[in-house]
Amino acid sequence: MCFLEKYVIKGGKPLKGEVTISGAKNAAVAIIPASLLVKGVCRIENMPHISDTDMLLTILKELGAKVRFIDNSTIDIDCTNVEFGNAPFDLMRKIRASYYLIGAMLGRFGKAKTTMPGGCNFGCRPIDQHIKGMEALGAEINVKNGFVYAAAPEGKLHGSFIYLDKVSVGATMNIILASVLATGRTIIENAAREPHIVDLANFLNSMGADVRGAGTDTIKVNGVESLHGGTYAIIPDQIEAGTYMVAAAATKGEVLIKNVIPKHLECISEKLRETGTIVQNFEDSVLVRASGNLRKVNIKTLPYPGFPTDMQPQMATLLCQAEGTSVITEGIYDNRFKYAAELNKMGANVNVEGKMAIIEGGHSLTGAPVMACDLRAGAAMVIAGLCANGETEIEDIHYIERGYEDFVEKLRRLGADICIAEYPDDTDKKDNVIAV
């Protein structure tokens, strides 16, 4: 019989101490495919060791890349001799960020064959803006039987003007990937501005690309002949840091969160301050300290620098313990409140109406068996378990392990009572994993 793993948490202990944040998942999952564009060795530091990055590295290796770990968070990727060929489609299908292979392969080979990225677990997640961008650059794209076929008729893409109808992180990064080796200039208008977009641009520029304006809504890419190897350090993970910030506040603890860029956290820090939590910024760390009773707040998720959708499940858990009624409005996805039912199993009172979750605070949580519905919903369940009276068991933790390096160990070092236990696998859930 096969066994799966679950988290078992005995709640009620305030988190105290220091935690060091790993490299940003959403930057790493674009930078790994970006190394396909480079002829030479990319030394990448601050690489998070999570299952999403492991899967992408495996995909690159199967395409012929040489991947060498220098230490736990530094790797060398050498794609000099990679040739166009079939990628491991079963792995691609499991991970959302495999869509970056479309842009990277098109840029490197003038053609690409990938699967459609992982499906819609919080509403429909089309890639029409990615396709619109690639087509503007001259690619012919066909989506058939779950595969994406792309080809530049003359073997090379050409620069173009692209207006994104929707602010999309993935489409912005994918078009950058496709355009760095194209001929001429590409302009992306209405581009997303997330920190990981700036990080991808900085990575590519350090390897010889000419990407300007990342972090604003107009990005200009001047195509270059080739990219060369180099060394680059990935930025710290905004969402991992935010998760520990909320966990500190929710457990009434005090945690120094190290290796962060406080500016990237302002959208989260400000909302925490509104709840009455103390957040102090230092050069590359933030201190979060609980202070008295939590106050209700209203939140609307928006593209950066707005409040990140990837932090709303964790904040919802915190607000279950605030005084009064808080409202969270989801501004990015159609259906990102599946976790509400799990929180309610623990005694919370969260009502979902369309794109709004109405959270009646002041209900203390009690431990229960719950599920991680997706990566960030899983993190929210962990925070709920840490706050709850009694024992919480969280199944489907493979979602959580896609995005949090050493989650259990880091929490234990902060004083949490959390461990991993096994349970028999009597489902076929493993084939349905979807990444965010």
For ligand UD1, the binding residues (CB under 6 A) are 26, 29, 96-97, 125-130, 166, 168-171, 192, 309-310, 332-333, 436
Q: Are 241 and 265 in contact (CB under 8 A)?
A: yes
Minimum Å gap between C-beta 406 and ligand UD1 is 20
* DSSP assignment string, 391-429: EEEEE-TTTGGGT-TTHHHHHHHTT-EEEEEEEE--S-G
Token readout for 345 is: 């199993």
155: its two tokens: 């073997």
- Sheet harboring 356-360: ordered strands across? 299-300, 325-329, 356-360, 349-353
Answer yes or no: are the C-beta atoms of 139 and 110 closer than 8 Å: no
- Minimum separation from the CB atom of position 436 to ligand UD1 (A): 4
| Least distance (Å) between residue 284 CB and ligand UD1 | 23
Structure tokens at 116: 């459609």
Output 163 or 423, the one with its CB closest to ligand UD1: 163
Q: Which is nearer to ligand UD1, 175 or 224 (CB)?
A: 175
Cβ-based nearer residue to ligand UD1, 171 or 388: 171
When CB distances to ligand UD1 are compared, the closest residue is 170
Would you state the torsion angle of the CA atoms of residues 245, 251, 253, 256, taken in this order, to the nearest 10 degrees? -20
What's the N-to-C CA distance of the chain in angstroms?
29
Please, which residue, 189 or 284, has the CB nearer to ligand UD1?
Answer: 189
Give the residues across from 227 on adjacent strands: 38
CB of 148 to ligand UD1, least distance (A): 12
Q: Pick the closest to residue 261 from 15, 27, 16, 17 (CA basis).
A: 27
CB of 59 to ligand UD1, least distance (A): 14
Type of residue found at 382: V
Report how far residue 175's alpha carbon sits from residue 102's, in angstroms, rounded to the nearest whole number. 9
Q: In 217-334, which residue ranges form alpha helices assigned H by DSSP?
A: 238-250, 262-274, 312-319
124 is catalytic: no
Cβ nearer to ligand UD1, comparing 1 with 124: 124
Q: Which two tokens stand for residue 23?
A: 């490299």
Considering beta carbons, is residue 414 or 435 the nearer one to ligand UD1? 435
Q: Which of the 8 DSSP states describes residue 155? A: S
Q: 308: cis peptide before it, omega within 30°?
A: no
Please state, as a whole number, how many other Cβ atoms lie within 10 Å of the Cβ of residue 222. 15
Kindly state the helix (H) or strand (E) to which residue 328 belongs, with its residue range: strand 325-329
Q: Which is nearer to ligand UD1, 109 or 333 (CB)?
A: 333
* Sole residue written with tokens 């929707």: 166
Shortest separation between residue 192's beta carbon and ligand UD1, angstroms: 6
The single residue of 79, 120, 267, 320 carrying the catalytic annotation is 120
Q: How far is the CB of 30 from ligand UD1 (least distance, A)?
A: 7
Beta-carbon contacts of 313 under 8 Å, excluding residues fewer than 6 positions away, are 336, 339, 376, 377, 379, 380
The smaller minimum CB distance to ligand UD1, of residues 244 and 333, is found at: 333
Taking the complex as a whole, the smallest distance from the CB of residue 310 to ligand UD1 amounts, in Å, to 5
Nearest-angstrom CA–CA distance, 111 and 84: 8
Q: Hey, which residues are catalytic here?
A: 120
